[in-house]
Amino acid sequence: MKIFCVANQKGGVGKTTTAVNLAAGLSKIGQRVLLVDLDPQGNATMGSGINKQALTSTIYQVLIGAAELKNIRVHSPADYDVLPGNRELAGAEIDLVDMEQRESRLKNALKTVSGDYDFCLIDCPPSLSLLTLNGLVSAHGVIIPMQCEYFALEGLSDLVNTIKRVTNSFNKELKIIGLLRVMFDPRMTLSQQVSAQLEKHFGEKVFKTVIPRNVRLAEAPSYGLPGVVFDPSSRGAAAYLQFAQEMVARMRALESPELPKPLADV
Distance CA 26, CA 119 (A): 8
Please list the alpha-helical segments (H only) found in 203-257. 215-219, 227-230, 235-255
Q: Hey, which residues between 18 and 57 contact ligand ATP (CB under 6 A)?
A: 39, 41, 43
Minimum distance of Mg ion from residue 11's CB (angstroms): 8
126 binds ligand ATP per the rule CB under 6 A: yes
Residue of 14, 85, 135, 178 that binds ligand ATP (CB under 6 A): 14
Give the one entry of ligand ATP, Mg ion, none that residue 156 binds, where binding means its C-beta sits below a cut-off of 5 to 8 angstroms depending on kind.
Answer: none
Neighbours of 138 (CB within 10 A): 26
Minimum distance of ligand ATP from residue 176's CB (angstroms): 17
217 binds ligand ATP per the rule CB under 6 A: yes
Minimum distance of Mg ion from residue 136's CB (angstroms): 16
Distance CA 105, CA 114 (A): 15
218 binds ligand ATP per the rule CB under 6 A: yes
Helix axes 156-169, 130-138, angle to 10 degrees: 60
User: Whats the size of the chain, residue-wise?
Assistant: 266
Neighbours of 121 (CB within 10 A): 26
- List the one residue out of 214, 159, 183 whose CA is nearest residue 10: 159
Give the one entry of ligand ATP, Mg ion, none that residue 249 binds, where binding means its C-beta sits below a cut-off of 5 to 8 angstroms depending on kind.
Answer: none
Residue of 43, 45, 76, 86 that binds Mg ion (CB under 5 A): 43
260 binds ligand ATP per the rule CB under 6 A: no
Give the one entry of Mg ion, ligand ATP, none that residue 77 binds, where binding means its C-beta sits below a cut-off of 5 to 8 angstroms depending on kind.
Answer: none
- The HSE-up count of residue 96 (CA atoms within 13 Å, CB side) is 25
21 binds Mg ion per the rule CB under 5 A: no
**Footprint of Mg ion on this chain (CB under 5 A)?**
15-16, 43
